[in-house]
Amino acid sequence: MEREECVQHPEILKSLPFRLFIDGEWTDGSSGKTRPVINPATEEVIVEVPDASPEDVKRAIDAAARAFRQWSRMTAYERAAILKKAADLIRERQEEIARLMTLEVGKPIKESRVEVQICAGYFEWYAEEAKRNYGDLVPQWIPSKRHWLIRQPVGVVATITPWNFPANLLARKVAPALAAGCTVVSKPDHRTPLVAMAIFKCLQDAGLPPGVANLVAGDPAEISAVFFADERVRKISFTGSTRVGKLLMQQAAEQIKRLSLELGGHAPVIVFPDVDVDKAAKWTVQAKFRNNGQTCISPNRIYVHEQIWDQFVARVVDYTKQLRLGNGLDESTDVGPLIDRNGLEKVERHVQDAVAKGAKVLCGGKRPEGEQFKRGFWYEPTVLVNITRDMLVSCEETFGPVMPLIPFKDKDEVIEWANDTPYGLAAYVLTYDYRTLIDVVERLETGMVGVWDFAPATFQCPFGGVKQSGFGLEGGWEGLKEYLVTKHVSIVLDY
């Protein structure tokens, strides 16, 4: 396959096989079709990758189904050794994978490095959790009986992951599935398949048997249609939009196929008047503009008590203006580009809608000027006030660098506002008052709450939402259980 070398880091492209990974082999697609991976900072083609045809996807499922027989019967210790080796290799190749991530996603290199470390952490964590898949002995009420509960792998698993965290979100699904004894066919986002390919190279080099994990890239609708049609795919784990999640639920109904869905969010932040205002403003700005706001748990609605409103707003604007917008490969960059033109246009549409309905732009609010921003998908970090509940920024996930600030004066009122959304993934509370904290945390309708913590996702704890933010958990022991079925064994002793 011919490749266009990225002028910034051609050595990265020479070191990895950017192809499909099926049955232990790197291969081109059977159709011969390819699609470009675009650098969102420059709109340059990084590399062309194969498009998997439905036949390629079926071949990957065939391989996973064959490999399941062996992989599921290996001891947990044997599987754990391979996952731990993969984690070690990911850490060894951190810089290479991080630079690749910045090229295809656009996020600052310092954020990419952290993500690679967390990705390795998931593989290491589930290497250990594989050994903790305990069964149960249930007390019998008939003396001559015994009841065992054993937990076994569900079978072949398909994973569908988005572009914004191409290492973490893949690891959160693939690592527990493999630890449980499942085999996997993974589909990364067609815009960002390169990091997934680099991680699969680590799995291959760690000694993963052929067919246990397979990687197909290409058209989402075509690939997912094969996943849902094939009865050998027993479970599908998806991270993406609520709209697509609803469609997948409809498709899953035909075979009663198991699903895990991590869908959209619209996270509120509630800032109470007892806080250190400078710290609260600084941390909120850092969280909001991490990955340019393209994060499912990104703060989307910032509610600030009226007693500290003026001071908080002033500090937020100051910190936002200090953010450096630029190419993520520059070590000094704080905020990179949006992923593509659609993402850029959505941000513009949300800001324009807000301004038309009376919002005021305190900073940002437009595409940046300058030669380096003539190409790429750039938008300035933006702070808005005078927000009303009919604006798009109030009721939709912007998924971009826009921070709407909203004053409140009553705790009960702000909890009602925070919960007034069909989504329930994450929420954040900033207060030093433990009575307020406990009351608010217990009443928020979300799967996760961060208290002075804007990065609650971690490999040792469950991650998931409620309402239309989906169901199923990733991370922790709960993440392993998503790939297991419980079998009841009842034994009569006096036969």
Q: Which active-site residues does the annotation give?
A: 262, 296
Q: pTM of the entire structure?
A: 0.95
**What pLDDT, on the 0 to 100 scale, is given for residue 13?**
65
Instruction: Answer yes or no: is 173 within a domain.
Output: yes
Residues 192, 301 within the same domain = no
Residue 259 half-sphere exposure toward CB, CA atoms < 13 A: 25
Tell me, what's the pLDDT at 15?
A: 72
Residue at 140 is within a domain: yes
Say if residue 332 is in the same domain as residue 213.
no
**Are 21 and 65 within 8 A, CB to CB?**
no
Q: What pLDDT sits at residue 16?
A: 79
Q: Is residue 495 part of a domain?
A: no
In this structure, what CATH number is given to the domain that contains residue 134? 3.40.605.10
Residues 203 and 103 in one domain: yes
What whole-number distance in Å separates Cα of residue 86 and Cα of residue 75? Answer: 17
Rounded CA gap, 165 and 295, in Å? 8
pLDDT string in tens for the chain (495-residue length): 233 334 455 466 677 789 999 999 999 999 999 999 999 999 999 999 999 999 999 999 999 999 999 999 999 999 999 999 999 999 999 999 999 999 999 999 999 999 999 999 999 999 999 999 999 999 999 999 999 999 999 999 999 999 999 999 999 999 999 999 999 999 999 999 999 999 999 999 999 999 999 999 999 999 999 999 999 999 999 999 999 999 999 999 999 999 999 999 999 999 999 999 999 999 999 999 999 999 999 999 999 999 999 999 999 999 999 999 999 999 999 999 999 999 999 999 999 999 999 999 999 999 999 999 999 999 999 999 999 999 999 999 999 999 999 999 999 999 999 999 999 999 999 999 999 999 999 999 999 999 999 999 999 999 999 999 999 999 999 999 999 999 999 999 998
Q: Domain containing 379 — which CATH number?
A: 3.40.309.10
Q: Does 464 map to a domain?
A: no
pLDDT 10s digits, 311-325? 999 999 999 999 999
**Same domain for 55 and 168?**
yes
pLDDT of residue 272: 98
Specify burial of residue 490 (Cβ count, 10 A radius: 0-12, 13-18, 19+). Answer: exposed
SS (H, E, C) the chain: CCCCCCCCCHHHHHHCCCCEEECCEEECCCCCCEEEEECCCCCCEEEEEECCCHHHHHHHHHHHHHHHHHHCCCCHHHHHHHHHHHHHHHHHCHHHHHHHHHHHHCCCHHHHHHHHHHHHHHHHHHHHHHHHCCCEEECCCCCCEEEEEEEEECCEEEEECCCCCCCHHHHHHHHHHHHHCCEEEEECCCCCCHHHHHHHHHHHHCCCCCCCEEECCCCHHHHHHHHHHCCCEEEEEEECCHHHHHHHHHHHHCCCCEEEEECCCCEEEEECCCCCHHHHHHHHHHHHCHHHHCCCCCEEEEEEEHHHHHHHHHHHHHHHHHCCECCCCCCCCCECCCCCHHHHHHHHHHHHHHHHCCCEEEECCCCCCCHHHCCCCCCCCEEEECCCCCCHHHHCCCCCCEEEEEEECCHHHHHHHHHCCCEECEEEEECCCHHHHHHHHHHCCCCEEEECCCCCCCCCCCECCEECCEECCECHHHHHHCCEEEEEEEEECCC
> Same domain, yes or no, for 204 and 314?
no
Residues 162 and 61 in one domain: yes
202 and 339 assigned to the same domain: no
- The answer on 441 and 347 residing in a single domain is yes
> Strand pairing of 136-138 and 145-153?
antiparallel
Tell me the C-alpha distance between 23 and 18, whole Å.
16
Q: How does strand 448-451 pair with strand 382-385?
A: unpaired
Residue 398 lies in a domain: yes
Asked if the structure places residue 209 within a domain, the reply is yes
Distances from the Cα of 384 to the Cαs of 130, 346, 347, 362, in angstroms?
Answer: 47, 16, 13, 6
Bridge partner residues of 423 (DSSP): 467
CB atoms within 10 A of CB 144: 10
Distance between first and last Cα of the chain:
66
Instruction: Report if residue 59 sits inside a domain.
Output: yes
Note the pLDDT of residue 7.
Answer: 40
Number of Cβ within 10 Å of residue 441's Cβ equals: 14
Query: Cα–Cα–Cα angle for 172, 94, 120, nearest 5°?
Result: 25
Residue showing tokens 């994973």: 159
| CA of residue 44 relative to chain centroid, distance | 25
Q: In the structure encoding, which two tokens stand for residue 402, read together?
A: 């826009």
Residues 476, 445, single domain; the answer is: no
Same domain, residue pair 21 and 146 = yes
Which domain, by its residues, includes 103? 10-263+469-488
The answer as to whether 191 is a domain residue is yes
Task: Say whether both 223 and 329 belong to one domain.
Answer: no
Q: Give the per-residue pLDDT at 495.
A: 82
Measure the CA–CA gap between 218 and 220, rounded to whole angstroms: 6
pLDDT tens readout for residues 149-178: 999 999 999 999 999 999 999 999 999 999
- Residue 17: predicted pLDDT: 85
**pLDDT value of position 4:** 37
Residue 140 sits in the same domain as residue 289: no
Distances (CA, A) of 191 to 164, 225, 255, 277: 10, 19, 30, 39
Distances in Å between the Cα of 302 and the Cα atoms of 234, 238, 272, 412 are 40, 28, 11, 16
Domain total of the chain: 2
